[in-house]
Amino acid sequence: MRIAMLAPIAWRVPPRHYGPWERVVSLLTEGLVARGVDVTLFASADSQTGARLAAVCPRPYAEDPSLDAKAWECLHIASLFERAGEFDLIHNHFDFLPLSYSALVATPVLTTIHGLSSASILPVYQRYNRHSHYVAISNADRHPSLDYLATVYHGIPLDEFTLRRAPDEYLLFFGRIHPDKGAAEAIEVARRSGRRLIIAGIVQDEAYFAQRVAPHLDGDRVRYIGSVGPAERDALLGGAYALLHLISFDEPFGLSMVEAMACGTPVIAYDRGSVPEVVRHGETGWVVAEIEAAVAAVSAVGTLDRARIRAYVAQHFSRERMVDTYLQLYHDVCRHHVLASSPGQRERIAS
């Protein structure tokens, strides 16, 4: 089976620091390659992969302002669809835009919807609902007007995360600095619970950072350390007393929650979107509704068994489980596609 993996090009695959979609693409691609699957990764030219790399965009446009995002996105997506006949299946991680190409080629397209960023893009998904194949990343993120093949939770490699039974005393905010993500709420919970807070992530909303975060930074009780890459992520997540995920939007999945729990670190999160699917209330953390409940949860963190938290991730959110599920979906899509009527195509799919 020959798979074309279409990644975004805002960040490298895998990302140097931030880039959750690109990280998932990398984890899945390398997992498939390890299984012997023939994968061609369409990503920025500086990406690193064991698959074949196909690239037209020299660098991620989020790292190089001289690159026009729309121009390079068009060239990037077109470069795959111009070669669509070389593949048995296209796996799209690039949101809605590639769907507008999908009816022009005979190769089936499977799209992982990494969250609907806006209701304004929904008409595109609705237009191609019966022509493409959709995967949700959580049950909460499914839209009632769309049909889905399955829900596939993101999976992570457990060997990149170390169980720490004796953490430090700090609380951690790990994510984009944006009103939706709850950095200001994390600061308030840390203040009320009398614990230090470390804030890590890219500043996506400068005004919010200046008004709601920066005034509280003192280098001691509240520290901002910038965006953290893979080399520092394990120690930072594992050393945290708890991860605060006090979001004000419906979370599509929440990869940082799984990564924290893989280190044994409990998660305290607002009950929005996929959070109850990812965090097991009272066992791997607490799903709460407001600040007071989050503060109370901090005081109860010590009652949780960090080894059991990691075991929960190993059972439900491993990369192996994600790769297994996608492989089955690939075979299902190809088996029922019109191209499978060709003897040569059937032979490739079976291999």
166-190 pLDDT, tens digit per residue, is 999 999 999 999 999 999 999 999 9
Q: Do domains 2-155+318-350 and 158-314 have the same CATH topology?
A: yes
Q: Hey, where are the domains in the chain?
A: 2-155+318-350, 158-314
> Predicted confidence band at 346 (pLDDT cuts at 50, 70, 90)?
very low
> Predicted confidence band at 229 (pLDDT cuts at 50, 70, 90)?
confident
Q: State the average pLDDT over residues 194-212.
A: 97
Q: Across the chain, what does the average pLDDT equal?
A: 94
254-288 pLDDT, tens digit per residue, is 999 999 999 999 999 999 999 999 999 999 999 99
Q: State the average pLDDT over residues 327-342.
A: 78
The answer to whether residue 343 scores a pLDDT higher than 70 is: no
By CB atoms closer than 10 A (0-12, 13-18, 19+), residue 247 is buried
Superfamily of domain 158-314: Glycogen Phosphorylase B; (3.40.50.2000)
Q: State the average pLDDT over residues 317-333.
A: 97
Q: What is the rounded distance in angstroms from the CA atom of residue 308 to the CA atom of residue 304?
A: 8
Q: State the average pLDDT over residues 144-155.
A: 97
pLDDT at 48 (0 to 100): 98
Question: CB–CB of 335/74 below 8 Å?
Answer: no
Q: What is the rounded distance in angstroms from the CA atom of residue 66 to the CA atom of residue 169?
A: 43
Kindly state the percentage of the chain with pLDDT values over 90.
92
pLDDT at 345 (0 to 100): 47
Fold designation for 2-155+318-350? Rossmann fold (3.40.50)
> Predicted confidence band at 230 (pLDDT cuts at 50, 70, 90)?
confident
pLDDT at 351 (0 to 100): 46
Give rounded-to-5 percent helix, strand, coil for the chain. 40, 15, 40
The answer to whether residue 68 scores a pLDDT higher than 60 is: yes
> Predicted confidence band at 350 (pLDDT cuts at 50, 70, 90)?
very low
72-124 pLDDT, tens digit per residue, is 999 999 999 999 999 999 999 999 999 999 999 999 999 999 998 788 999 99
Strand order in the sheet with 2-6: 52-54, 38-42, 2-6, 89-92, 109-113, 133-136, 150-151
10-36 pLDDT, tens digit per residue, is 999 999 988 999 999 999 999 999 999
